């Protein structure tokens, strides 16, 4: 597989980040007291010596650290098995939603405290009544909110919170977005927020977000522009663009127009303008964000991975097609930002090297603010070029020291270009 083959990276990917990141909607007023009171309440329940530390990097980015070391909960002996994706979410500080619950003992009662285990093999049968003997990982403790009759009623797809997570083994606080007024706070990975800072949306700029759903980066750009940019968000299906509109409505954003369209065909010489949606004429946008479809191998924690080398290799083709269209619709002197949430060289440094060779009109510029590390050496970019991109991961590179905060999120990559005449 086209990934960095090191034990350090594998260990890093298997562990959750050591903090939670919230993006604050700067169009609304954030009430810090809500967070403080909630953490104080949780602190009493957990017997903590203090509430978790939290701080703002910028007004739109809040970092929440782990509970102190004295916060522990003993296992109850009652095991609930959840799928690997659900277990990973618990380690990030999430509750357990009903579809993720695989095995639950028959004699449980509501509000009973239970131990949450992730199925690391994908072999647990849904509705299991007895203790699961496959490979599993303890990920946290929680309070049961649903019984078997609610979870496994035939013909009914369960929904809602099945287990209210009290404490993950990662000791990350369980702070849900719903704690705050609607649209005020969004859980978002730190490099994803940095990506918005790199685009740096300004009022009146015409910006294209090519693969926009569910709209987290789209809404960030809108908020950065004070809801005054002209932002067009495109994704492939009506279902996905509906999520973008829902995100905008929730966050009080009116400067975004969303369209269901294939962005690999988003440029046309015959188009009369951008007002009617895609396809767009060449040289239409001041800025283009291409947060490309990718293998997603930077996500943490990765408790189970079914991605094959063939699947990883398939993304390069679509990324190249999207980049080619991005170059066409970008204005001369416009900025193109390319990002992925993966760690593979072919989708990151390799894609930048390909773009620079394929499109002489593209010039690599610093993806500022440069908070992640440089690109990997000997992967198609020289030292000057790799100093201009940023890669989030555990690597140590003398070319650019990285604050530990930015090494403790997910694997991510950002490159920025301008279009020359």
User: All domains of the chain, ordered by start, with CATH?
Assistant: 18-70+179-185 (no CATH), 79-168 (2.30.130.10), 189-419 (3.40.50.150)
Arithmetic mean of pLDDT over the chain:
95
C-alpha distance from residue 160 to each of 69, 116, 135 (Å): 31, 17, 27
Q: What pLDDT digit, counting tens, does each position of 356-376 carry?
A: 999 999 999 999 999 999 999
Asked if residues 348 and 381 have their Cβ atoms less than 8 Å apart, the reply is: no
Q: How far apart are CA 34 and CA 162, in angstroms?
A: 25
- Using a 10 angstrom Cβ sphere, with 0-12 exposed, 13-18 middle and 19 or more buried, the burial of residue 28 is middle
Q: How far apart are CA 28 and CA 35, in angstroms?
A: 16
Q: What is the pTM of this model?
A: 0.94
Q: What pLDDT digit, counting tens, does each position of 139-173 carry?
A: 999 999 999 999 998 777 889 999 999 999 999 99
Asked if residues 220 and 65 have their Cβ atoms less than 8 Å apart, the reply is: no
**Region at 204 (left for phi over 0; alpha for psi -120 to 50; beta for the rest):** left
Q: What pLDDT digit, counting tens, does each position of 192-237 carry?
A: 999 999 999 999 999 999 999 999 999 999 999 999 999 999 999 9
Instruction: Examine the pLDDT at 259 and tell me if it is beyond 50.
Output: yes
Residue 227: the pLDDT is 98
Q: What percent of the chain has a predicted confidence (pLDDT) above 90?
A: 91
Instruction: Examine the pLDDT at 74 and tell me if it is beyond 90.
Output: no
Instruction: Examine the pLDDT at 328 and tell me if it is beyond 70.
Output: yes
Nearest in space to 76 (alpha carbons), one of 131, 132, 129, 142: 142
Partners of 42 in beta bridges: none
Give the containing element (helix H, strand E) for 41.
Answer: helix 32-46
Joined together, the tokens standing for residue 248 give 């905008």
Residue 124: the pLDDT is 96
Joined together, the tokens standing for residue 173 give 């606080």
Among 124, 255, 267, 341, the active-site one is 341
Q: What pLDDT digit, counting tens, does each position of 267-306 carry?
A: 999 998 999 899 999 999 999 999 999 999 999 999 988 8
Give the model's confidence band at 260: pLDDT under 50 very low, under 70 low, under 90 confident, else very high: very high
Residue 155: the pLDDT is 74
Residue 85: the pLDDT is 95
Q: What mean pLDDT do residues 112-117 have?
A: 97
More confident residue, 259 or 1: 259
C-alpha distance from residue 278 to each of 158, 185, 259, 271, 329 (Å): 38, 31, 7, 8, 11
Instruction: Examine the pLDDT at 121 and tell me if it is beyond 80.
Output: yes
Residue 2: the pLDDT is 43
Nearest in space to 292 (alpha carbons), one of 238, 344, 330, 219: 344
Asked if residues 260 and 240 have their Cβ atoms less than 8 Å apart, the reply is: yes
Instruction: Examine the pLDDT at 110 and tell me if it is beyond 70.
Output: yes
Residue 5: the pLDDT is 54
- Using a 10 angstrom Cβ sphere, with 0-12 exposed, 13-18 middle and 19 or more buried, the burial of residue 421 is exposed
Q: What pLDDT digit, counting tens, does each position of 344-353 carry?
A: 999 999 999 9
Active site residue 341: yes
Q: What pLDDT digit, counting tens, does each position of 401-421 carry?
A: 999 999 999 999 999 999 999
Helix (H, G, I), strand (E, B) or coil at 219: helix
Instruction: Examine the pLDDT at 6 and tell me if it is beyond 80.
Output: no
Q: How far apart are CA 186 and CA 30, in angstroms?
A: 12
- Is the bond leading into 214 cis (omega within 30 degrees of zero)? yes
């Amino acid at each position: 597989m086209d990934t960095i083959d090191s034990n350090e990276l594998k260990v890093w990917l298997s562990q959750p980040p050591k903090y939670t990141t919230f993006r604050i909607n700067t169009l609304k007023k954030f009430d810090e007291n809500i967070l403080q009171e909630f953490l104080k309440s949780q602190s009493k329940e957990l017997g903590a010596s203090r509430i978790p530390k939290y701080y703002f990097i910028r007004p739109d980015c809040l970092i929440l650290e782990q509970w102190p070391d004295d916060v522990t909960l003993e296992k109850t002996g009652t095991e609930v098995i959840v799928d690997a994706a659900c277990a990973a979410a618990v380690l990030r500080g999430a509750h357990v939603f009903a579809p993720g619950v695989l095995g639950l003992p028959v004699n449980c009662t509501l509000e009973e405290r239970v131990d949450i285990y992730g199925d690391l093999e994908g072999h647990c049968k849904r509705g299991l009544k007895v203790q699961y003997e496959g490979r599993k990982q303890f990920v946290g403790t929680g309070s049961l909110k649903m019984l078997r009759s609610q979870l496994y009623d035939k013909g009914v797809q369960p929904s809602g919170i099945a287990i209210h997570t009290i404490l993950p083994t990662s000791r990350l606080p369980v702070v849900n977005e719903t704690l705050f007024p609607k649209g005020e706070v969004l859980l978002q990975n730190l490099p994803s927020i940095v990506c918005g800072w790199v685009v740096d949306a300004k009022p009146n700029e015409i910006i294209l977000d090519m693969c926009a759903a569910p709209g987290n980066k789209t809404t960030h750009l809108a908020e950065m522009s004070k809801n005054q940019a002209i932002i067009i968000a495109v994704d492939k299906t009506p279902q996905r663009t509906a999520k973008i509109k829902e995100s905008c409505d929730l966050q009080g954003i009116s400067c975004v127009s969303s369209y269901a369209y294939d962005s690999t065909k988003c440029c046309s010489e015959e188009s009369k303008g951008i007002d009617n949606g895609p396809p767009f004429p060449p040289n239409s946008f001041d800025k283009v964000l291409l947060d490309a479809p990718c293998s997603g191998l930077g996500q943490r924690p990765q408790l189970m991975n079914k991605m094959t080398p063939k699947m990883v290799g398939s993304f390069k083709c679509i990324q190249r097609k999207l980049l080619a269209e991005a170059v066409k619709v970008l204005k001369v002197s416009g900025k193109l930002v390319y990002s992925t949430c993966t760690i593979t060289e072919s989708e990151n440094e390799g894609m930048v090297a390909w773009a620079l060779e394929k499109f002489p009109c593209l010039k690599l510029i610093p993806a500022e603010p440069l908070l992640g590390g440089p690109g990997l050496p000997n992967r198609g970019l020289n030292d000057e070029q790799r100093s201009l991109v940023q890669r989030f991961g555990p690597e140590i590179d003398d070319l650019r020291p990285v604050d530990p905060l930015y090494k403790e999120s997910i694997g991510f990559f950002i490159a920025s270009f301008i279009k020359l005449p």
